[in-house]
Structure 1
């Protein structure tokens, strides 16, 4: 109830209640005294005394209330208003705390809070301004970079509208009225290959972390240009969705395809003429040599026929599902029995080829269509489109293959698809009353796992100024390679490296995408005691590079950078022992995070890697402890966090830090 009233009114009501209560008690006391006295002639005296007491009480209370109101209530309300103005109205003037002089330290404290708020707000505004300017600069640079990409690039929404494009995309697709931001892609391209590729990527990536793309051939809306397109889903962290957008890179292959088809035609004509000439030549070495040359040329031609067409790894079941859906819309049923075999082909082109064969064959009375797949060795599989009916003759099948597979794409025929895949369609019997159209497709070879393709950049490096004297270079401006080794033992004179790993720290930041991690064959048995620490066994390093090769490759990785390690003398002893064998020296500056820790936290502190990471709030997963890459990442994170601390300790450059190391060299001697 009273909390809704103003502070001054509540104080006034308090003093009014106090005056009334005090007056009431005084009157009650006078009444009690008069009654106990019992003399009527004293009544007037009691009344006069009571009136004077009440007036005095009210006068005194009013005077105290006025003082309290002027020196407490009003200053408190004013301070509250001033602080509210600075909190919400961005007022930056200092608070005048003189009127609050009777409130002790409240006025001074309020002024300090307001001043600190103003400073914090200004500092934040400056930081936001700098970051905004940096982001704007990076955005401009990335836009410039994207504009120079030689391929057309489109970022498309799940609804197949354009969200971003570069200048080359406009050149490829033309400057028609249908081109622009938030315009549908269907106004520019024939969408069938795009839609099929998008659905295929969604199916492939469902419930997985697959970041691969797919290649397709697509034509412009008017069919004037043939484009090679690569599609990749835009799965962004924090924006997970079942239907993400995608990136489409486009390359105009109209001229390439025309040239390829012309080349193919010329070679086929030439080879046909050579075969006819060989047939009429008399037997002899010349005829045999010409026949051999023709056969070799034809073999090499077939190999190049399949090299330029965009191919992808495709699950055969997906091929059957796409074919079944397209034929169902045209009233033709097909039973697919393909299994999980993975083919290497152009899924869109093969689907359209099978669709054309099925529709033309069904138009001649074939029924009960079935699509099957049978492996032929380890390199290819045979696709069989079977049906109830007679075996079609080769001339009829050749006619089907000459028809365009998509409207407006006269060069996109079944014959062209067969040539691109190095195969041919063969009509064959398939049992009593049934026939089959068969062609071979290559099986996909297992591909090694590849890391996610990412772009690493730091535009600040464009303006970096490294002085000629490395000792004068700032720590933040140098490049560091932070490394760690796992060894067969603790004696650098007899033991060997069995794992070496490193990360880069550039411009004060750990570069996640640049790592060196290699198991090393030490050329000797790894003791069980060492394996218990780093979990590296003889079997794990049996096929690994030897020490000389591994250290030579590490030297290349670390070339031009300052080396950093935790207890560096131990690791460097193993590296320097092999300098003569690899023909290179590790002569760059070397920093030790043990000494950095001693400088910042004092020699009396514990300087193990675990203790240092705990102090700096760095968590190394237990599974990565005592592995070279895990310790290298932990050391790199620790060193990155110590760079601003070293700068604050008046050690801003490499020379000053190395001089400071000399004061703590005994610590390293003690550790080793």
Structure 2
């Protein structure tokens, strides 16, 4: 019973019992003396003496208790908190020995022990540094390799929770449902039917090497069709195996295939009927070549031939246009193409002048360089010159490669002969004509003797703008999630097995009941005791009302900054999806939760996540007498918040997340290893804050 009480309360009870016992002993002694004296006239004197002595005794006890509480009990609490922060979180400042000066040699002894602990940790870290460096290098190489695999790769637990995903999988799964996140259900991003059926099929086979191909679609209003292959990951310590699934987007492939099939069907349909009619007319002419009064059969034959010619010409053009849609052509910068051509031709002894527009060309850069360089060498030999002009210019939706020279014009027949021959000695099948067909284009000479040139159009090009920010291709994983069991209720779950979302809000004011609204909300996810760098929620919110100047002075957010931002009715559902299935963590959580819960009815949402408050966790570790502001907490834990990040949602969120990660081992060291145990402990500090887990 007593071990559940705080140290200060137990000391107070000790002195209270001491004062009560002293007063009781004084009263008993005076009563015994009065009875032995046997004189009724002395009763008043005994009573007055007893009252004065009792007050003096109680006063002395209270005075000693106050000194003891101030210099011993509080000092012990502070010393214990410092010891835990140094030993379990490896943080905190040096021990305040002035505070513990009345505890004798305890503070120096603890300081020496912590110094020895720190030295031992350093020695251990140095002993494993080389091995850690080697493993880190292998890990980095593995991550780099997997991030560039030309397929989306997912690793899932038996409960279909994401354990690993690479950059391409993030591109394939991201969409209306948002980017994927660790420890989230795969079925938030893929329709579950095909995945479950493939998983059950593989489990029923009993073959550890079996794989299953499946076709699945992403969730959301605009689904993408994905080709996938699943393979189970059997492990002796797991009853139900996890699995790896590779994804490939076939929506574009199917669209291109369907387009080709429809075009071929139309070709057959539109060519077949004129050809049949032409055959009939020619048959009649063969039977009676002299009986054609007025030349009607001749005109009919000419009309059918003209229709057939037009159909073939139009369909051929459409076919050439469609070829570039499914050809393996990438975007090549025009300046890079020109530089490669200049290097190739200068190596052959030719001088090249010209310039390239700021364009990105859709072409096979290697084939185009080989073709133009070969044409340039032949042109130089034909014209007897060593100086060529080479320009790449914008031409409507495409581009135009112009090869010019001084000298005689180039006959079309000569160019056709050049295009029929191989471009490289080792590439007999690569002719100029084949390159042109691949790019659905053609090449022709124009101009007269003096300033002739060759024209080679590129069908698709776009202007090269400012280079966009590189897309993050980090591999995100946590293999420990494979063996995690999820049948236990949250209250019984160990703290290290829970997924946390640490968040913070900035608002127009402190009174949500009077119309104040959120202007910024930020959050990060913690899985298996680490913060996931790529899983961050950070957005400005249009509050639908002016931001007071006093609030702007605190968080720096102005009306202009949120003018184009989404409103709270659009942002909160996104945050609700981001935080789904996790424990919410905040500093002074009731304040932030009030702003979230006041919109629940309007949006049809329920923020019923379990909640932890770092204010109360700090009180559990250091006692209620300490200051528990975010600045004080981070100072005690040795966490630095940059001045420019303070009072911003993302800055305070990062600081709270780091503080929470350092508080976890300190809580576990006190025997608070499950969420339920922590919740029961923090509710003893309810006078600091109301319980944010209560939604009423």
- Range of TM-score over shorter length: 0.5 to 0.7
- 8 A Cα contact 2:407 2:450, kept in partner: no
Partner residue in 1 for 2:331: 312
Partner residue in 1 for 2:493: 473
Instruction: Identify which of 341, 349, 374 aligns with 1:323.
Output: 341
- 8 A Cα contact 2:391 2:403, kept in partner: yes
Q: CA deviation at 1:583?
A: 2.0
Q: CA deviation at 1:592?
A: 1.0
Partner residue in 2 for 1:372: 391
Cα distance change, pair 549–121 in 1 and its aligned pair in 2 (3 A): closer
Instruction: Identify which of 581, 586, 589 aligns with 2:607.
Output: 586
Q: CA deviation at 1:552?
A: 0.7
- 8 A Cα contact 2:274 2:308, kept in partner: no
Return the alpha-carbon distance in structure 2 between the equivalents of residues 355 and 612 of structure 1: 68
Q: CA deviation at 1:120?
A: 5.3
Cα distance change, pair 451–596 in 1 and its aligned pair in 2 (3 A): farther
1:507 aligns with 2:528: yes
Alignment of 1:150-161 (within 5 A): none
Instruction: Identify which of 636, 647, 652 aligns with 1:615.
Output: 636
| 3-state SS in 2 of match to 1:511 | strand
Partner residue in 2 for 1:107: none
Partner residue in 2 for 1:606: 627
Return the alpha-carbon distance in structure 2 between the equivalents of residues 580 and 354 of structure 1: 67
1:660 aligns with 2:655: no
Return the alpha-carbon distance in structure 2 between the equivalents of residues 286 and 563 of structure 1: 76
> In the TM superposition, what whole-angstrom CA distance separates every residue of 1:517-568 from its partner, at most 9, and x where no partner exists?
1222222232333233223233332332221221111111111111111111
Partner residue in 1 for 2:475: 455
- 8 A Cα contact 1:428 1:435, kept in partner: yes
- 8 A Cα contact 2:590 2:690, kept in partner: no
Return the alpha-carbon distance in structure 2 between the equivalents of residues 577 and 309 of structure 1: 54
- 8 A Cα contact 2:274 2:304, kept in partner: no
Larger deviation: 445-454 or 367-376? 445-454
Q: CA deviation at 1:148?
A: 13
- 8 A Cα contact 2:621 2:666, kept in partner: yes
Partner residue in 1 for 2:453: 435
Return the alpha-carbon distance in structure 2 between the equivalents of residues 317 and 146 of structure 1: 32
Alignment of 1:626-637 (within 5 A): 626-637=647-658
Higher RCO (CA-CA < 8 Å; seq separation 6+): 2
Q: CA deviation at 1:423?
A: 3.5
Alignment of 1:421-570 (within 5 A): 421-429=439-447, 432-440=450-458, 442-444=461-463, 446=465, 448-493=468-513, 494-570=515-591
Whose Rg is larger? Answer: 1
Q: CA deviation at 1:448?
A: 4.4
Larger deviation: 457-466 or 387-396? 387-396
Provide structure 2 residue ranges, at least 5 long, that are not aligned to the other structure: 1-111, 154-247, 279-299
> In the TM superposition, what whole-angstrom CA distance separates every residue of 1:325-379 from its partner, at most 9, and x where no partner exists?
11122222212322554444433232222212212222322532111132235x4
Partner residue in 2 for 1:352: 370
- 8 A Cα contact 1:487 1:497, kept in partner: yes
Larger deviation: 278-287 or 651-660? 278-287
Alignment of 1:118-517 (within 5 A): 124=124, 128=128, 274=271, 277=274, 295=314, 298-299=317-318, 302-314=321-333, 316-338=334-356, 340-365=358-383, 367=385, 368-377=387-396, 379-429=397-447, 432-440=450-458, 442-444=461-463, 446=465, 448-493=468-513, 494-517=515-538
Q: CA deviation at 1:146?
A: 6.3
| 3-state SS in 2 of match to 1:436 | strand
Return the alpha-carbon distance in structure 2 between the equivalents of residues 293 and 428 of structure 1: 27
Q: CA deviation at 1:634?
A: 1.6
- 8 A Cα contact 2:443 2:457, kept in partner: yes
Return the alpha-carbon distance in structure 2 between the equivalents of residues 599 and 387 of structure 1: 85
| 3-state SS in 1 of match to 2:551 | helix
Cα distance change, pair 148–630 in 1 and its aligned pair in 2 (3 A): closer
| 3-state SS in 1 of match to 2:383 | coil
Return the alpha-carbon distance in structure 2 between the equivalents of residues 141 and 123 of structure 1: 28
- 8 A Cα contact 2:274 2:305, kept in partner: no
Q: CA deviation at 1:289?
A: 12
Q: CA deviation at 1:667?
A: 1.4
Larger deviation: 512-521 or 345-354? 345-354
Provide structure 1 residue ranges, at least 5 long, that are not aligned to the other structure: 1-111, 154-250
Count of matched residue positions in the alignment of Structure 1 and Structure 2 = 448
Return the alpha-carbon distance in structure 2 between the equivalents of residues 412 and 511 of structure 1: 49
Q: CA deviation at 1:503?
A: 0.7
Return the alpha-carbon distance in structure 2 between the equivalents of residues 403 and 361 of structure 1: 15
Return the alpha-carbon distance in structure 1 between the equivalents of residues 355 and 148 of structure 2: 47
> In the TM superposition, what whole-angstrom CA distance separates every residue of 1:258-292 from its partner, at most 9, and x where no partner exists?
x99xx89x969958994995998789999989968
Partner residue in 1 for 2:666: 645
> In the TM superposition, what whole-angstrom CA distance separates every residue of 1:442-471 from its partner, at most 9, and x where no partner exists?
125657434431101111222223451211
